[in-house]
Structures are given as C-alpha cells and as structure tokens.
Amino acid sequence: AQSVTQLDSQVPVFEEAPVELRCNYSSSVSVYLFWYVQYPNQGLQLLLKYLSGSTLVKGINGFEAEFNKSQTSFHLRKPSVHISDTAEYFCAAGFQGAQKLVFGQGTRLTINP
Amino acid sequence: NAGVMQNPRHLVRRRGQEARLRCSPVKGHSHVYWYRQLPEEGLKFMVYLQKENIIDESGMPKERFSAEFPKEGPSILRIQQVVRGDSAAYFCASSPPGGYSPLHFGNGTRLTVT
C-alpha cells in the first residue's frame, strides 16, 4: 500500500537549535515528495518539493530535505530554528499513476525561547 | 494572482442541515482536490475533480457527500444532513494540468455541527 508516515507527532526544540522532522513513505512505484507548513488557522504552504535529480532539496525559510531511496525517507531539516517556525509540518507524496497527494499525520514543531 | 479562494471561512450548521463549501481555484488551474482535516489528524483525501468530471472520489463517504466542479463557477463540496462527526476543516487545493505539480491550498472552511 502507498502511504506516508511522520514518526513524530510533536517536536519541541530551543530557538537557534537544529531540527529534523522525519518522514517515511511506502511505495512500489515512483514517488515525488513534498513538505508543507501550516500556520494556525491557515491553509498549507509549500516548503519544498522533490521530483527528480539532486536528492538534496532546498526550500523556503532555510529548510532543506534529503530524499533517500534506500531508506524510503524524506526528512526535513533546518540548522537553526526561529520562533516564527512554530507550526505544523506535513510530508506528502504523489505516486506514479495517481494525481492526488497522500499526507502524513503531521508534526507539530514548537520552538522554546 | 489570487490563490485558492474558499468560502465561507467558518460555517456553523445544526445536525440535519446541509453544508455547502465553495472553492475557486487559482486562475488557469483545472484540477481541484478536496481534503478533510480532523483535529489532531493529518489531511485525508476526499475527491479529485477536473472541469465537469469527477476523476477520483475514493476518499469521499458514499452517503451524504457530493462534489462538483462545473464548467463555470467554483467547485462545491456539499454535505447533506450533517452530523457532529462532520465537524472538521475542509481544504480545497488546485493544480495546473500535467503531472507532479504541487498543490496550492486555500485557507479552508471550518465546519462546526451543533
């Protein structure tokens, strides 16, 4: 079955510390991957995407993610977080042959001063 | 360019009433998707439409829910005879034709059933 799993429902970190939000997928076909951010009472905003090519993808707000096919992972990282990064982060995958995206359960990132 | 526009932002309905949620996609986008977000849960796919066609409704409950994307006008998600369990945030997204495009999301409609 095709699925996306975010291993951590909540991640608390201190301001200016690095962070990694984990995402794994399951698929028997080609996959393309996205990370979205959701601020309170808003829709989802695209952070970055992986379609093909370089496995290290850079996005907005200083975030980056690395596609690892052998580990079926697409973890999101930022070297130094700010209070403004407090939000819910969603990993999503599109699978070859299907137009829709499948989302993970989300990870709530909270930044402590 | 205007993004995906959803209205209303908040909708309160009593049990048994009908809820109509509207979505205008990004100009030039011909694909529309509806997702539902329950508290503390991720986004669950409901339905994918192109103009005048339902392409994939595998995530939509068989009863009480329907969706359309007419040739003219916004996409509509309709929930008949709402129940408390329908309370959720409903998000619409759109994408241009062609594969592997990111989805552009609206700010959602928060439905509360009392």
Residue range B27-45: mean pLDDT, rounded: 90
pLDDT reading at B35 higher than 80 = yes
Chains A, B: CB pairs < 8 Å: 53
Cα atoms found within 13 Å of the Cα of residue B57, Cβ hemisphere only: 14
Q: Among B95, B105, B112, which would you mutate to test the A interface (most chain A Cβ atoms within 10 Å of its Cβ)?
A: B105
The residue length of chain A stands at 113
Q: What is the pLDDT of residues A11-66, one digit of tens each?
A: 999 999 999 999 999 988 889 999 999 998 888 999 999 988 889 999 999 999 99
3-state per-residue secondary structure call for B45-107: EEEEEECCEEEECCCCCCCCEEEECCCCCCEEEEECCCCHHHCEEEEEEEECCCCCCCCEECC
A5, A25 contact by CB (below 8 A): yes
